[in-house]
Amino acid sequence: MAAGINHEYDRLDILIRMSVDRDPRQRARAASHNDATPCMLAILATDKVASVRRSVGANPVAPEFVLDHLSRDSDAPTRIAVVSNTNTGRSALLRLSEDADPHVRAGVASNSNVMESVLIKLARDKDPIVRMAAAENGLLPYSVLQDMVKDVSGLVRSAIAASQRIDSTTIGFMTGDESVKVRQSVASNPNILEGDLKKLAYDDSELVRRSVASNPSAGIDILKELAGDPDVSVRIAVSRNPSATEKIIKIVANYQAGRYSVHIASSPATEPDILFGLASVTNWVIRQAIALNRATPKKALELLAYDADWRVRRGVAQNRSAPPDALRVLAHDPYDEIKQAVADNPSSPNDAVQEALKGKGAGRHELASSKRPNRSDGGRTTGGSRASLASAGRAVLRLIKG
């Protein structure tokens, strides 16, 4: 027992020595120690070196009267330390809510002891970092939080979008926000409805799609879609999602290893949502395989009809599953070879065929000769069409084999 008391006295003696040491670093260490006494902290709160006073302000055992004294300190970081301390009294917080430094006011807005009336006032502060801090404080009345959804600052709206206090209707409204950061916060919110999360899975920003992929609320269909995302960080996020199945993780692994591409894109057994996801990859060979695959969803073929690479567009023109609207678009293509493929496709509507044949001759890659297949022969293609398809097929097979 006596040994324990002596040890306590020894520790206190060391702290006293540190608190009067000539080195301000030692005094700052004493000021931040949990065993520092109120008397010791009161003395150190008057230290001429700001870093020492700052350490007192941040000390969780600092008494309220010491923090009240430091709330008037000329050093802004010291006042910030005070407003971040849960021991700071309401009178000091009220005084500092009018502070000239927005970071001090933001600290007041974040404090769990702040009065509701003060917090509401800070929610309407001129500086966005103060309003953001108020929005993140769970003590802010819900009605005020709802009013802040249309705040002019994306920083504030982002904080609201990340809040688990807002309802799913508000979250859905914020999925269309112009700010990427706001949509990113919406995509991370666990309260988001699956339909809204699926909408954000097609967002133009990879940051938003990555947040969708990381959200534990993301369903299997969404994760399957993002498993073939062109951005590597999105695919990694999918593989780390706790909801990802072994099948989804395997898809990501195959994609990362480069094995996912052509043979998956050209297989009629590949699921339509995966084919749709692959339609946006940067590799034209994969997009061409998707364009030629008769199992590819019509919405993907409609997108690929506008592809920047003529070889991909030709694949759509050759695909018997291509929707009429896509074939009508390709009938106006500047490449004669694509127009000819439209004319040769048994699925092409008559107006598309007429347009394709009418527009031939002024384009590029014109074929020497090719005839319109006979519609009465059961949809079989002519030799020229078969040759084009066979050529494309051989190219895909060569890529698959290595």
User: Residue 395: what pLDDT?
Assistant: 41
Q: Name the amino acid, one letter, at 163.
A: S
- Which residues, in sequence order, are CB contacts of 118 under 8 Å at separation 6+? 93, 94, 97, 108
User: Using CA atoms in the order 267, 272, 275, 276, what is the torsion angle rounded to 10 degrees?
Assistant: 160
Looking at residue 264, its pLDDT comes to: 76
pLDDT reported for residue 257:
54
Domain extent listing, the chain? 1-88, 263-402
Contact indicator for 283, 274 with CB cutoff of 8 Å: no
pLDDT score recorded for residue 399: 39
Distance CA 41, CA 199 (A): 55
Q: What is the mean pLDDT of each run of 10 residues along the chain (402 residues)?
A: 54 88 95 94 96 97 97 97 96 97 97 96 97 96 94 96 93 94 96 94 92 94 86 87 87 64 78 82 84 94 94 95 95 92 94 86 43 35 40 40 38
CA distance readout (Å), 201 to 157, 219, 249, 345: 20, 11, 17, 34
Q: 189: buried, middle or exposed (CB in 10 Å: 19+, 13-18, 0-12)? A: buried
| Residue recorded with tokens 């802004």 | 76
The dihedral through the CA atoms of 230, 218, 151, 122 has a sign that is negative
pTM of the model: 0.60
